[in-house]
Structure 1
Amino acid sequence: MKGSIKKYLVGLVLGAIFMGCGKTEDNKTFKGKNVRVVIGSTSTSGDSYLIADTTSRHLEKALDAKIKVDAVGAAEALATMQSAKPDGNTIMIFHDMTYLGVDFGAYDKEYDLKNMTIGPRVAQNPGAIWAAKKDAPYNTLVEIPQYLIDNPDKTIRMACEAGGVSHIGFITYYDWVKKNYGEDLAKRIVVVIGGSTADKTQLLWDNNCDVIFADYTSLKDYTETDDKKIAMKFVGLLDNIEGVDVKSYKDMGITLDGKDFAFSKDFLVYMPKGVAPELIKELDMAANSISKTSEYNEALGKMKYRSEYLDSTSAAQFINNKRDGIKKLIETSPSLDELVKK
């Protein structure tokens, strides 16, 4: 009897071990999973959602998984990457705000890139752009300093978001103006803090700012309307968009330390720390496969985004190098608190 009980108990233990092993193996594939993709935005109309949604719909087929985008906002998305299990059930697709928020001090250092698994780069958005009202007395950013010289009682209020890509765009422009026209004139270009694109467009329409920062796609309709109350014009891109006739910083000669400046948002897949190599490899292969399809490229191209695949190893090296290059600018530039309109 005792021998039978002993055999029974051994059988249970071995069965549990084999079941556990089977479960672990199942976790090393995306196949059949319900995958939640968090993004650092609460909007479902901006580039963060549009790129994540487009990428997810194509990855679904390549991974044989069900994938749904959850627009939770930057703070929640970064926190999720620290708390979620590294089983592939939860990932993040987001742009440079992933590291910029930490470098600018907007988010805690626990959210640093080193505390996440960096997956493949899937897309780029070169459409970070400044816009003004259509009847503004300047057509590009480089005309603003002369406007201020001609109108010594005026200031220019530029609406952007602290700790993000618009912050980078602003301090690069501010630094260029200061070096070329002097600090006194540069100080007449001030910041108005704005959140979402909707918030910033409303600031512009209410005459509470003069120039706003947003995404090309989100503002394009306003540049094509005849309604004077809401009509806008683009005054400067951070990078060139193929087929779009709007001048970029490089085109206008807005440089950083005397060198050409261009900044596209890079969208990468991020995962919790400790993800199995098998999952990373599977994700790399899937992202690579969709990057070669005309359907994925055309879907992004319609929104003026572009497919720019890098495998996870190359993507990690790329985004860390990009971050290092921007750190110097952040460290040597005035904080937005100093530049905000009082």
Structure 2
Amino acid sequence: MKKTILALSVALAGSAVTSTAMAQDDAPIDGNLRIVIGSTSTGGDTYQNSEIVAQELSDKLDMNVKVDAVGATEAFKTLERNDDGNTMMIFHDMSYLGHLYGVRGYDNVFEEFNVGPSIAINPGNAYLVPKDSPYDSFDDIKEAVADGERVRVSIQPGGVSEIGFSAMKNAIRIEHPGAEENLVAVNSGSQSDKNQQMFDGLADVINGSVQSNEQFTRLEEDDQKAMKFIWLTAREDTIKQTLEEGMGETTREELLEYTEPNVTVTQDGEKNFTFDKEFFFIYNKDMDQEIVDYMDEALADIYDEGEIQETQKQSFFIPNFKPSDESREDLKQKMNEYKEIIESIDS
């Protein structure tokens, strides 16, 4: 892993002009480009996604591109101070979910900033139970809470981890009014913390990911760390775009067993809830529109060339380029839908 990061850093620092580089004479930005991300981890999916895109932008724009894992609060503050286009941000749906859940430091990203193009989806957001659990599906959990059982779900509150929990609670509210109170959040932190809560018998269900937890699904049932998937929140069409070999020893066809329509988590009594974890650019609100257009054009060229898609898929990400206007509208729609779900279970 360290060798990979070092190689990427060297490439970013000394990238040469390529045949596909855009003309720089009339470029609206010059110098270096700093991409701050809403994570402090250099091993997580936000950093990995950002590095892949940064490498391509470095070549395309013929400029040094640096990814800084400063965390969400610091990233937003940094972005507020810089409107010249040399500082940008990459983050995911937590950008607006944090605001919906009332997390400190998260304003309405659509009002305080300029939401830019989408670049990728992480299809791996998942919910798991111990392999020896009596619950083999979300249907089993719904029946259990309807019968008065208390089911504990370990989540990191205020974002991607919690929205699936909110959706499960909302589905139970619709199908078994009042029983949703038996689905209880156990607030946690990192993925290792959530895993440990399951290992210690403090949680019946945990939020996890295919990337982090697939290894535990291969263990024998009598192993304390053995888990099984019960739900992947991504759309069926999103999982179908992953490589046939899937992740680890779990194939794409096996992963599809845990998505809708095989798993039904109703959103409103008619359609199923799904959640694709999307990554996108965020700009300073006052950044020049010419720079927004310039970045849209550069990324459109990169995705038209086709190489980045292969890199993303090899890392278990789904290519998902959408220019700024389309990206902004789609993400606003997601936010409005999730706002209804959150308000329905808080009322």
TM-score range, shorter chain: 0.7 to 0.9
Measured at CA, do residues 45 and 212 of structure 1 come closer, stay the same or move farther in structure 2, by a change above 3 Å? farther
How far is the alpha carbon of 1:221 from its aligned partner? 2.0
Aligned match for 2:201, one of 207, 213, 225: 207
Q: Which residue of 1 aligns with 2:293?
A: 281
Q: Which moved more, 1:102-111 or 1:273-282?
A: 102-111
Q: Deviations over 1:177-218 (max 9, x none)?
A: 1322341x3322211011221221122122221211122212
Q: Which residue of 2 aligns with 1:105?
A: 102
Q: Distance in 2 between matches of 1:109 and 1:54?
A: 26
CA contact (8 A) 2:100 2:339 kept: yes
Q: Deviations over 1:46-95 (max 9, x none)?
A: 32222122222222211222222222222222222222x11222111111
Aligned match for 1:311, one of 323, 331, 337: 323
CA contact (8 A) 1:249 1:255 kept: no
Q: Distance in 2 between matches of 1:108 and 1:158?
A: 25
Q: Secondary structure at the match of 1:191?
A: strand
Q: Distance in 1 between matches of 2:43 and 2:133?
A: 26
Q: Secondary structure at the match of 1:86?
A: coil
Q: Secondary structure at the match of 1:325?
A: helix
How far is the alpha carbon of 1:264 from its aligned partner? 0.3
Q: Distance in 2 between matches of 1:26 and 1:292?
A: 23
Q: Secondary structure at the match of 1:175?
A: helix
CA contact (8 A) 1:28 1:87 kept: no
How far is the alpha carbon of 1:168 from its aligned partner? 1.6
Measured at CA, do residues 333 and 30 of structure 1 come closer, stay the same or move farther in structure 2, by a change above 3 Å? same
Residues 1:197 and 2:191 are matched in the alignment: yes
Aligned match for 1:134, one of 125, 131, 135: 131
CA contact (8 A) 1:158 1:189 kept: yes
How far is the alpha carbon of 1:109 from its aligned partner? 6.3
More helix by share: 1
CA contact (8 A) 1:30 1:64 kept: no
Q: Distance in 1 between matches of 2:58 and 2:164?
A: 34
- Which runs of 5 or more residues in structure 2 are unaligned? 1-23, 241-251
Measured at CA, do residues 149 and 273 of structure 1 come closer, stay the same or move farther in structure 2, by a change above 3 Å? closer
**2:210 counterpart letter in structure 1:** Y
How far is the alpha carbon of 1:331 from its aligned partner? 2.1
CA contact (8 A) 1:178 1:186 kept: yes
**1:137 counterpart letter in structure 2:** P
Q: Secondary structure at the match of 1:292?
A: helix
With normalisation by structure 1, the TM-score equals 0.82
Give the length in aligned residue pairs. Answer: 306
Q: Deviations over 1:127-155 (max 9, x none)?
A: 211012222222222222334567x5x42
**1:315 counterpart letter in structure 2:** S
Q: Which moved more, 1:224-233 or 1:186-195?
A: 224-233
Q: Distance in 1 between matches of 2:197 and 2:291?
A: 44
How far is the alpha carbon of 1:110 from its aligned partner? 4.6
How far is the alpha carbon of 1:236 from its aligned partner? 0.3
| Structure label with greater radius of gyration | 1
**1:272 counterpart letter in structure 2:** N
Q: Deviations over 1:199-255 (max 9, x none)?
A: 211221222212111222122222234481322211101123122333224432211
With normalisation by structure 2, the TM-score equals 0.80
Q: Secondary structure at the match of 1:131?
A: strand
CA contact (8 A) 1:120 1:269 kept: yes
Q: Deviations over 1:284-334 (max 9, x none)?
A: 112112223443112211233211111112212222222222222222222
